[in-house]
Structure 1
């Protein structure tokens, strides 16, 4: 399933408190999607990395109660205590946890309680883990535990990633490079290198670029995130960014120059898309649409499709009729 389909499915299942197990290779944003749902639904979110826990960490520690004259379990403080009515308890790396930890989680998932602890009614449980084929250390999940979940498998999707990347302000050169080389978003299955490209490591590249490191550090740092070969290709692609037309002049309607280099056009298209938001004036939108009339068709359409996916209305700008006349047959 692509990330958007997974997100929609999780939203429905969490509302019904149906336990879900989210499968997928490392670095594709499984935990990010669950956190995003909690944020959008305005509910609490607790992320537990089960591979770091011992069985007693989840079940709690027994102690003798002089009042009850019996041993009782002290529940861990990191589990929901009822102070937040609704939320998602995210059990990450469940199948990399030791079997005894999985057994403790099984009771929590099956009965919504463990020891003296009971999960509040308004909380949903979502678990996640890598597949056995993903070269990680995983323990086969017991059939009774697996049967307690609805299983969803998440795949990398370039269009979904691009929409996310534009929304959070990922560097335009990264978005443009992935648009130009969709295979570069995820290279986990294509390499045995320690460093490989995933949505997570491209986010690291974004942080590296935004930190403005010295020139001699950029290549080794980016290589350390996505691998040397891909880093060289990306930085070569990015080197044309300095020759781009001034974005402000394009938006003001005072620049008509269009680059001829495909890599420059990719970066320019991504950068222009990111300049537009809900507050952008009709005048600037009109200037942008007018500018795209002089671009190669694939890039003009790329910009408009990105804006439409973000619900930016263009029908009201003066140059839209001319744009539709020229490129309408290419829209999909």
Structure 2
């Protein structure tokens, strides 16, 4: 399931307080989607990294009450009141004894003397066995108590998230150009770094730090691997040759157009993100000057950014003038 579908599914499962396990490859954004679902529903989120716990960390420590009985004191991070999501991340990576304690929370909503409040839902997540991560097989009895969702990255969902998260726009343009590099993970290869939604976020931070060009490739290689870094560096170099977007919008009929198709592609992607009723006249003028395939690319992506522009006079005039191309496209 793509992230937006997982989000909708989580909202339903949280509403009925059904425990769920998210399965997915490393770096696809499982933890982030759980946090977003909790935020959207106005719920508190308690994120417990099961792999970092010892068995006694969940059950707590015993004390002697006034009657001489041993009573377990649960840890402070377990919720006592209100409504929220108890997120057990990397659950199937944790040692078996830690998992056993977590399973009691999932199955019985209890752990010793502790009881999970009624307003809380348990969500767990972990990598798949096929990812060759360090995982432990989930007991059948537990698996049958959970709803299982397979998490797969999706470029459109990631781009929608990236726009609000302040991800470097050049990376969005690059991944539109090379969508298969959003997540390229081969568990049979012993690569320390590989492209993933998480690692591209790292790259965005690196770019935002104003890193020197001669250092940038090594940093990108360390974040997304050598092959993806080389392609991204090539795209960034092309992107630097692109005319200024504001200048193009201000003078779409007179600005000099680049001759390199790669630069044209980058320019169209950047301009399409600025699409609105206010910029539509400029985009239509520019599209009429571009080679027809790039004009169609610009207007198609512009309509994807703001669907309302298809109702403008400028778009309608351009569409009529290129109706033969649009019919065959």
Residues in 2 aligned to 1:266 and 1:175: alpha-carbon distance in whole angstroms: 13
Q: Which residue of 2 aligns with 1:14?
A: 14
Q: State the TM-score, normalized to the length of structure 1.
A: 0.89
The whole-number CA distance in structure 2 between the counterparts of 1:273 and 1:331 is: 22
Partner residue in 1 for 2:286: 291
3-state DSSP class of the match of 1:151?
Answer: strand
Q: 2:244 corresponds to which residue?
A: 246
Compared CA separation, residues 88 and 286, structure 1 to 2 (3 A):
farther
Q: In 2, distance between residues paired with 1:169 and 1:298?
A: 27
Q: Which residue of 1 aligns with 2:5?
A: 5
Q: Secondary structure at the match of 2:134?
A: coil
Matched ranges for 1:4-83 at <5 A: 4-66=4-66, 68-82=67-81
2:122 to 115, 119, 125: 125
**Residues of 1 paired with 2:208 and 2:273: CA distance?**
16
Task: Select the residue among 205, 215, 218 that pairs with 1:217.
Answer: 215
Distance (Å, rounded) in 1 between the aligned partners of 2:328 and 2:147: 37
Rounded Cα–Cα distance in structure 1 between residues aligned with 2:9 and 2:167: 26
Change in CA separation of 1:253 and 1:81 when aligned onto 2, cut-off 3 Å: farther
Confirm or deny: 8 A CA contact 1:269 1:302 kept in the other structure: no
Q: Which residue of 1 aligns with 2:319?
A: 324
Kept after mapping to 2: 8 A contact 1:176/1:269: no
Q: Does residue 140 of the first structure (1) align with residue 131 of the second (2)?
A: no
- Using the TM superposition, give the Cα deviation of residue 293 of structure 1 relative to its aligned residue in structure 2, in angstroms: 4.2
The alignment's TM-score, normalised by the length of structure 2, stands at 0.89
Residue 292 (structure 1) shift: 3.6
Matching of residue 97 in structure 1 with residue 99 in structure 2:
no
User: 1:297: how far off?
Assistant: 4.1
CA contact (8 A) 1:301 1:330 kept: no
- 1:176: Cα distance to partner? 1.6
Quote the Cα distance in structure 1 between the aligned partners of 2:265 and 2:35: 31
Distance 1:98 1:246, change over 3 A: same
RMSD: 2.3
Separation (CA, whole Å) in 2 of partners of 1:14 and 1:111: 17
Measure how far apart 1:32 and its partner are.
Answer: 0.7
Q: Is the 8 A contact 2:87 2:123 kept in 1?
A: yes
5+ residue gaps, structure 2, are none
How many Å apart are 1:163 and its aligned residue?
A: 2.3
Residues 330, 223 of structure 1: CA spacing in aligned structure 2 closer, same or farther, 3 A cutoff?
farther
Stretches of structure 1 that go unaligned for 5 or more consecutive residues are none
| Structure 1 partner of 2:108 | 111
1:48 and 1:258 mapped to 2: Cα distance? 53
List per-residue Cα deviations over 1:219-261 (Å, max 9, x = no partner).
Answer: 1111100112221111011101222122123334556544343
| Number of equivalent positions | 322
Distance 1:223 1:23 in 2: 27
Q: Kindly tell me: are residues 39 and 150 of structure 1, through their superposed partners in 2, closer, same or farther at Cα, counting changes over 3 Å? A: same
Q: 1:164 to 1:74 in 2, by over 3 A?
A: same
Distance in 1 separating the partners of 2:143 and 2:137: 10
The structural deviation recorded for 1:203 is: 0.8
Equivalent residues of 1:27, 1:199 under 8 A apart = yes
Q: Which has the higher mean CA deviation after the structures are superposed, 322-331 or 174-183?
A: 322-331
